[in-house]
Amino acid sequence: MLKFYYQKFSLYSRSVWIALLEKKLPFELIELALDGDQWQPKFLAINPFGRVPVLVDNDFSIFESSSILNYLELKYPTPCFLPKDIKTLTIVRMIEMLTLHELIPAMLTLIRVTNNENAIDQANQQITAMLNFLETQLDDGLYIAGDQISLAEIVAGSVIIWLPDLNVTFSNHPKVELWSNQLKQRPTWQETQPNPEVIQDWFKRIQKLPKIRARQWQQKQSRLTKTSP
């Protein structure tokens, strides 16, 4: 059976979790607290970078969410979340990359930064650019690739629905709002959606993340020193 290591706060984990559920694959769900668990030798043997998500298929470990999603598509192609049409496939892939490299970093900036107007303005501009692009891709059908969800929904759609919690509205993007609301009705989105208390806890954790990571790094170095000859 597949083993899926995740963290309930992780935006990167959620897309993989949704994909596993949508494909109806049997898997063991293993949550890491990320308060030091990721630096334990047992987990580092699975992912030496100490991050989630991680998927273990027998003795094969895959980390980084996009790599896991690609692996699932190749090994478990039914249902397929990548369109056959070259243009549509390229759009889906662009949305994936834009989510990982533009949208999520901008969202994290809005959570972390409270006293830098330039950084906040830039983050809002990145988010608006992403919403503008999505709005142009939702002209036909219910979803980006037509009448069935694709990796565009699984990746972008799994984080877009958090934007209202950051006081970002869809008032100028009615198609994105409808799209997001449709996704929220899917059982897989409902099963993986944290409750409001968890979301607020996650925001506080992100704000403290630099200090947490510094402490975790010190703990990791201390363990390595103790185990070195």
Residue 217 covered by a domain? no
Task: Tell me: do 182 and 99 sit in the same domain.
Answer: yes
- pLDDT tens, 116-162? 899 999 999 999 999 999 999 997 668 999 889 999 999 999 999 88
Instruction: Note the pTM of the prediction, 2 decimals.
Output: 0.86
Question: Which residues span the domain enclosing 141?
Answer: 86-190
172: which DSSP letter?
T
Does 56 share its domain with 90?
Answer: no
Residues 11 and 34 placed together within one structural domain of the fold: yes
Q: 175 and 101, same structural domain? A: yes
- Under DSSP, the state recorded for 4 is E
Question: 29-87: per-residue pLDDT in tens?
Answer: 999 876 777 888 888 999 999 899 999 999 999 999 999 999 999 999 999 999 999 99
Torsion of CA 112, 117, 123, 128, to 10 degrees: 140
